[in-house]
Amino acid sequence: MIVSAPSCAKCGACATVCPVYRQSGRESHTARGKLHLLDVLGLVRASTDFVDIFSACLLCGACAAICPRFIDIPKEIIRARNSFSSIAGPHAYEKYLTRKLLDHPGSLSGLRVLGKAGERLIGSYLPERSGLRLRLALFQEESICPPVTAGKKNLPAPSARSRQMSWFPGCAARYLFPGSLASCRSLFADRGVDLVFPDSLVCCGLADLTAGDIDGAQKKGRQNIEFLEKTEGSILVSCASCFSQLQKYPMLFAGDSVWQQRAEQIALRLVELTEFLDDVSVTESVAPKRATRKLRIFYHDPCHMRHNKEVRDRSRTLLGKTGGVEILELEDGPRCCGQGGLFHIAHPEISAAIRDQLVEDVSGLQPDVVTSSCSGCLMQWQQGVTAAGSRVQVLHLSQVLELLKTLKN
Ligand code: SF4
Ligand code: SF4
């Protein structure tokens, strides 16, 4: 049964910032619209239309950040999605997404534009335990995406450095962007740190959570907690989305004091990439020695981070310290890229429209590089610049810092 929504003032502030509403113009796509539906229809059986409306949310948090009633709208939407499996049959949301994927097989073509990475993903690299499977809605299509065991190729050999640090790179980095793994390793090796990730780590569970599969997210959470408990010290998380999910583990286990306590211990050890790099002044080593043309960089804030000014500023401060970059900003501030985990499967047209508008506006700033620390956003950006025929490079933040190092005179 769907729980009743918190009281909404129907002020409409959420509509002014909702990227989905901006594209579709449908009131039911606003947070206000969804909360109203929960209010008046929350106790009836969910129809396909109902599931469709609740799939039309990026969980970007822009509405929650502006809501005068402080309603945690993404949380309400996840709760609604979670209820679909009980009121509309098992795995209702996954079935819905799979059907949508089959309605829009072009959704997969985006992966192919990723070139070799896409081939690896579709062909042989994606293990069954990876959350990317869920993100791509490849729930039942083993022939497209068979389970595999490989995942270490393209990683540099471990060095003999004395200090080791645990590392949670995230599924997309491990299986789609091995270049970002190598860059992270290299950056940290420069600081005398060997990054090591336990092979047994699984997906952070964000994809399960956003699909409303709270049991699935908890299962992955328990596995990761158990594996990380066998390590010591700080845990570097180099994907912004994974970081936000790992930080939520204590909330995920609300009501289970034993697991909540274990999750809290892990959460205390998490260090986000920009936070660590800033702390160790890694940027000193990448600053060019003499004046050259500065690299024009657009930093894309992942939604999980962009509503926190301190976090938003940190990445810019980090890049600015290199002295080798010019940071470009959109007039109206950071925006969602339209990926939204499962959203781009459920609503490929709206997702592409949000993405393409962003790519067009950012292209007007004439960047050399677009960067972010979220693998999902990087996938969306890569597809966007390819669709636009742009030559702008899309790189993980660690790769930009490596690139600046090579430009050093
Ligand atoms: S901003 Fe908050 S209170 Fe206002 S309409 Fe949206 S959800 Fe309701
Ligand atoms: S979370 Fe984002 S996409 Fe979803 S209703 Fe709020 S503003 Fe719109």
Q: Which two tokens stand for residue 226?
A: 């158990």
Reading the block at residue 42, the tokens are 């929350």
Q: How far is the CA of 268 from the centre of ligand 2 (A)?
A: 29
Q: Rounded to whole angstroms, how far apart are CA atoms 29 and 300?
A: 24
Does the Cβ of 8 fall within 6 Å of ligand 1? Answer: yes
DSSP, collapsed to helix, strand or coil, labels residue 348 as helix
Using CB atoms within 10 Å of the CB of residue 130, give its burial: 0 to 12 exposed, 13 to 18 middle, 19+ buried.
buried
Atom of ligand 1 at shortest distance to CA of 30?
A: 6
Nearest residue (CA) to ligand 2, atom 2: 60
* Number of DSSP helices (H) and strands (E) in the chain, helices first: 23, 8
Nearest CA to ligand 1 atom 7: 32
Is-contact 276 397, C-beta < 8 A?
Answer: no
Query: Given ligand 1 and candidates 17, 38, 71, which is best to mutate, with the most ligand atoms within 8 Å of its CB?
Result: 71
Ligand 1 contacts CB of residue 35 (under 6 A) = yes
- Given ligand 2 and candidates 26, 28, 63, 210, which is best to mutate, with the most ligand atoms within 8 Å of its CB? 63
pLDDT by residue for the chain (409 residues), tens digit each?
444 556 899 999 999 999 999 999 999 999 999 999 888 776 555 677 788 888 899 999 999 999 999 999 999 998 888 877 655 555 566 656 555 554 544 444 444 444 444 444 444 445 554 555 444 444 333 322 223 333 344 444 555 555 889 999 988 787 777 788 888 988 888 888 889 887 788 889 888 888 778 888 899 999 999 999 999 999 999 999 899 999 999 999 998 999 999 999 999 999 988 887 766 555 554 555 555 678 999 999 999 888 888 888 888 988 888 887 899 999 999 999 999 877 888 888 999 999 999 999 999 999 999 999 998 899 899 999 999 999 899 999 999 988 887 776 5
pLDDT of residue 353: 96
- Angstrom CA distances, 258 to 95, 219, 245, 261, stand at 33, 14, 19, 5
Distance in Å, CA 34 to ligand 2 centroid: 10
- Say if residues 247 and 378 touch (Cβ distance below 8 Å): no
Please tell me if the CB atom of residue 32 comes closer than 6 angstroms to any atom of ligand 1.
yes
- Which residues lie closer than 8 Å to 285 by C-beta, 6 or more apart? 190, 405
pLDDT score at 298: 97
* Residue nearest ligand 1's atom 6 by CA: 14
Chain centre distance of CA 396: 12
Separation of 211 CA from ligand 2 center, angstroms? Answer: 15
* Local structure of 270: helix, strand or coil: strand
Distance in angstroms (rounded) separating the CA atoms of residues 304 and 311: 10
> Residue 43 C-alpha to ligand 2 middle, in angstroms?
23
Q: Which protein residue's CA is at the shortest distance from atom 1 of ligand 1? A: 67
Give the pLDDT confidence score for residue 141 in this predicted structure. Answer: 33
Ligand 2 atom closest to the CA of 336, numbered from 1: 2
Domain covering 280-407, topology: Rossmann fold (3.40.50)
What DSSP letter does each residue of 98-114 carry, written as one string?
HHHHHH-THHHHHHHTT
17 pocket-lining for ligand 1 (C-beta < 6 Å): no
d(CA 243, CA 372): 13
Which of 258, 284, 240 is CA-nearest to residue 397? 240
Identify the bridge partners of residue 159 per DSSP, sorted by sequence position.
none
Q: Which two tokens stand for residue 209?
A: 């959570």
Q: Are 28 and 37 in contact (CB under 8 A)?
A: yes
| Comma-separated ranges of CATH 3.40.50 domains in the chain | 280-407
Distance CA 241, CA 112 (A): 23
